[in-house]
């Protein structure tokens, strides 16, 4: 049997998710077990914005190292830069040319320009506002984009820590958001409340996992600090701490929810359907009649 080796190249792959739980996959199961399981088994592809993921990795790669940033740009150039029609001079100069299908179903040859799509100059502004900050440059030192694995509640887990110095009492995680002070509605069962982007995207759970993986690999329990930078113009920025009580609560919620998720993955129980996500809408069959009063949560 072939041994799976986790690496930068396969960290975000379905195969990695089949061997390790991650904060992202866990949150997908909490949102809708049926959709998460279908994606894990390869029978459904969750529609994500490739631009949002690429822009996030573009920013992360810059602060990993100059080499990592250039490698990322080279590997994703056709998603970062706008194209134009190729010329005979381009062919003569040996410029990389690609063929696309035009609106009239004819093949068209294109080459890349030096003009970026709009999201990337915005990302450059976000990068600059951090790179120009003396305090950020001073503290953002250590191991970058380090993959850690461990066992939580008897299940193998993986995490990718943005920046961690084993000699320090904290680790750092880069987060982009629309507005630091924007209120988000947090639904919890039949109740809800207003909260920050930190709570809305379950970052306490993610940071609790990272903290535990660091403890298992390094023997320390550093505090997470989010380096938040906004998509505003000009961008805002902040160091955001998550109290240990919130991390402990998130970890306990994880441990409480994980046994059922393990059973769902193993096929021992049927997955819960949220009946609202893309997967549930695509696979829904009419059956039970609902009252008009049930349409609004």
Of the pLDDT bands very low, low, confident and very high (cuts 50, 70, 90), residue 297 is: low
Mean pLDDT of the chain: 93
Any residues with CB less than 8 A from the CB of 35 and at least 6 apart, and which? 28, 44, 46, 274, 277, 278, 279, 280
Q: What's the angle, vertex CA 57, arms to CA 83 and CA 240, rounded to 5?
A: 140
Residue pLDDT, tens place only, 123-159: 999 999 999 999 999 999 999 999 999 999 999 999 9
Q: Which helix (H) or strand (E) holds 97?
A: none
- In CATH, what class is 16-46+124-279? alpha beta
Domain ranges of the chain: 16-46+124-279
CA distance 44 to 36: 9
Residue pLDDT, tens place only, 201-223: 999 999 999 999 999 999 999 99
Q: Does residue 234 have a cis peptide bond before it, meaning omega lies within 30 degrees of 0?
A: yes
Phi, psi of 85, rounded to the nearest 5 degrees = -65, 140
Q: For residue 84, list its beta bridge partners.
A: 111
- Report residue 227 as tokens: 């380096």
Q: Which residues of 204-230 are buried (b: 16+ CB within 10 A; e: fewer)?
A: bbbbbbbbbbbeebeeeebebbbbbbb
Alpha helices in the chain (DSSP H): 14-19, 23-31, 33-40, 50-64, 66-75, 77-80, 88-93, 119-131, 134-139, 197-200, 203-218, 244-266, 278-282
Q: For residue 229, list its beta bridge partners.
A: 176, 237
- CA-wise closest residue to 102 among 94, 110, 112: 110
pLDDT given for residue 97 in this prediction = 85
Of the pLDDT bands very low, low, confident and very high (cuts 50, 70, 90), residue 106 is: confident
- Tokens 């987060």 belong to 175
Of the pLDDT bands very low, low, confident and very high (cuts 50, 70, 90), residue 1 is: low
- Report residue 51 as tokens: 């631009």
pLDDT of residue 69 exceeding 60 = yes
CA distance 32 to 259: 16
Q: Does the predicted model carry a pTM greater than 0.85?
A: yes
DSSP code, position 217:
H
CA distance 187 to 9: 35
pLDDT of residue 190 exceeding 80 = no
The answer to whether 142 and 149 are in contact (CB under 8 A) is no
239-248 average pLDDT score: 98
Higher pLDDT, 1 or 212: 212
111-125 average pLDDT score: 94
Q: What's the angle, vertex CA 201, arms to CA 167 and CA 293, rounded to 5?
A: 160
């Amino acid at each position: 049997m072939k041994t799976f080796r986790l690496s930068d190249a396969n960290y975000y792959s379905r195969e990695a998710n089949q061997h390790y739980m991650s904060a992202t996959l866990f949150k997908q199961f909490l949102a809708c077990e049926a959709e998460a399981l279908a994606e894990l088994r390869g029978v459904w592809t969750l529609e994500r914005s490739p631009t949002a993921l690429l822009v996030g990795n573009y920013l992360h790669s810059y602060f990993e190292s100059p080499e990592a940033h250039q490698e990322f740009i080279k590997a994703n150039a056709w998603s970062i830069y706008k194209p134009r029609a190729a010329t005979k001079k381009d062919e003569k100069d040996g410029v990389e040319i690609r063929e696309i299908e035009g609106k009239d179903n004819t093949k068209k040859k294109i080459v890349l320009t030096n003009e970026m799509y709009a999201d990337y100059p915005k990302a450059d502004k976000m990068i600059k506002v951090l790179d120009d900050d003396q305090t950020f440059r001073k503290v953002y030192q250590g191991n970058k984009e380090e993959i850690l694995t461990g066992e939580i509640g008897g299940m193998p887990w993986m995490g990718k820590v943005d920046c961690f110095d084993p000699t320090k009492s904290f680790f750092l995680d880069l987060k982009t958001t629309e507005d630091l002070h924007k209120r988000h509605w947090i639904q919890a069962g039949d109740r809800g409340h207003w909260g920050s982007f930190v709570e809305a995207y379950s970052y306490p759970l993610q940071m609790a996992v990272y903290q535990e993986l660091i403890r298992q690999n390094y023997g320390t329990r550093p505090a997470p600090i989010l380096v938040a930078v906004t998509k505003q113009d000009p961008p805002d920025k902040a160091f955001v701490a998550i109290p240990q009580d919130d991390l402990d609560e998130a970890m306990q919620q994880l441990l409480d929810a994980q046994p059922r998720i393990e059973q769902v993955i193993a096929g021992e129980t049927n997955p819960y359907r949220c009946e609202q996500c893309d997967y549930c809408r695509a696979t829904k069959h009419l059956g039970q009649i609902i009252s008009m009063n049930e349409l609004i949560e």
